[in-house]
Amino acid sequence: MLGIAIIGAGAIANVHADAFLQHKDRCQVRVVSDLYVEKAQAMIDEKGLTGAVACRDYQDVISRDDIDVVAICLPPKTHCEVAIAALEAGKHVLVEKPMATSLEECDKMIEAAKKNGKLLSPVAQNRYKTPNYKVRELLESKAAGRPLHITVNSLWWRGSNYYDIWWRGTWNTECGGCVTSHAVHHLDLLQWFVGMPTRVTAVINNVAHDNSECEDIGIAIFEYEGMLAQLAVSLVSHDEDADIIIQTDKARVSVPWKPVASKPLPNGFPQPNEEEVTALQSVYDALPELESEGHSAQIGNFLRAIIGEEELLIDGYEGRKTMELIMAIYKASVTRLPVTLPITKDDTFYRHETMAAQMPRFFQKTRSIENFTDNTITLGRDVGR
């Protein structure tokens, strides 16, 4: 039975607790740690984490012999420090998005996992959604054709008071705005679907959140060989109508799923290609539904990988790729020039301190509270649905 410690008792920690509870045959949550111990205890009581204790200092947690796995649900600035400490203490680490605040930190975490022979898995739970999995299978098998143009709409809405919590809305503690905290989901899916681009061009701004230094809107273009992709990300989209649309040489495929295909009239104008749509739908329907989805599915793979039953599907290298896309967007937005990948270790956007020093402060953060009284999370349209 694997002993689990959840570090951080904020809203996302509740999702982790629920997921671990779905794997009672393999693990038990034994500790919840938070600076506000009463918050950790409230989560233990609410979730019925029998036998778990609350504590304040994560160092006390990672020194315990009965803890095998540490799930990090903390602000991004702390991810690297806590992850490395846990790995050095011989624990496996699951870390929430974004993996870290820089490529340098990602590399340090990957090296610590390798050196200590432990697993490191950044959370990318949307890979474990049936529509996302099926579309990737269609792309991998070439059944959907060759991608030509991808539109990624990572559209969200947050009130201005979203940034009142103490760690949000600064380049130092959150390491960015909607690109880092929200588009991270869709950027992970983009690179999972079609790999990494060769060049990135971008612009960011803050148009509606006056308690944040960071961006609340951005647009990026990704160049691939024989293909272009574009990203729109915002926190000002009331309908949160997010999607990923992939135009191929055969059809349009997307998440949420909506196949469309055209064929030419004698003059080159389009007419519906129902035969291609029917064929694509048949392949899509034949792919199996995932038995488990979201955090529960990723955590299930993580736990089974720890005990040697299967390979780890999302490791530190995967989390690093998404962070590299984020850093490329920020660098391109500041320099107003296309950024060629990969970002090298001598680049100022490789390290957090030198990256943050170059980023614009759209507004000055003037309001800061320690905790929200209501910690409810609403998801809008689920990524992939």
In a domain? residue 56: yes
**Which residue range is the domain that position 25 belongs to?**
2-123+293-313
DSSP symbol at 289 = P
Q: Based on the structure, what is the number of domains in the chain? A: 2
Give the whole-angstrom CA distance, residue 33 versus residue 177.
Answer: 26
In a domain? residue 363: no
Could you tell me if 103 and 150 lie in one domain?
no
In degrees, rounded to 5, the angle at the alpha carbon of residue 55 between the alpha carbons of residues 51 and 56 is: 165
Could you tell me if 144 and 212 lie in one domain?
yes
CA atoms within 13 Å, Cβ hemisphere of 207: 11
Could you tell me if 148 and 285 lie in one domain?
yes
Could you tell me if 96 and 200 lie in one domain?
no
Q: What is the pTM of this model?
A: 0.95
Give the whole-angstrom CA distance, residue 150 versus residue 222.
Answer: 9
Cα–Cα nearest to 112, from 91, 86, 92, 84: 84
**pLDDT one digit per residue (tens) for the chain, 385 residues:** 999 999 999 989 999 999 999 999 999 999 999 999 999 999 999 999 999 999 999 999 999 999 999 999 999 999 999 999 999 999 999 999 999 999 999 999 999 999 999 999 999 999 999 999 999 999 999 999 999 999 999 999 999 999 999 989 999 999 999 999 999 999 999 999 999 999 999 999 999 999 999 999 999 999 999 999 999 999 999 999 999 999 999 999 999 999 999 999 999 999 999 999 999 999 999 999 999 999 999 999 999 999 999 999 999 999 999 999 999 999 999 999 999 999 999 999 999 999 999 999 999 999 988 766 665 656 556 676 6
Coil, helix or strand at residue 236: strand
Task: For residue 299, give the H/E element and its range.
Answer: helix 294-306
> What CATH number should be reported for the domain holding residue 114?
3.40.50.720
Could you tell me if 304 and 286 lie in one domain?
no
In a domain? residue 97: yes
Give the whole-angstrom CA distance, residue 27 versus residue 157.
Answer: 36
**Pairing of the two strands 147-155 and 339-340:** unpaired
In a domain? residue 45: yes
Here the tokens at position 46 are 């609410």
Task: For residue 43, give the H/E element and its range.
Answer: helix 37-47
> What CATH number should be reported for the domain holding residue 228?
3.30.360.10
Could you tell me if 219 and 286 lie in one domain?
yes
In a domain? residue 374: no
DSSP annotation string for 314-357: S-HHHHHHHHHHHHHHHHHHHH-S-EESSPPTTSTTSSHHHHHH
Could you tell me if 277 and 133 lie in one domain?
yes
Could you tell me if 142 and 273 lie in one domain?
yes
Could you tell me if 225 and 173 lie in one domain?
yes
120 and 113 in contact (C-beta within 8 Å)? yes
Could you tell me if 280 and 300 lie in one domain?
no
Could you tell me if 176 and 205 lie in one domain?
yes
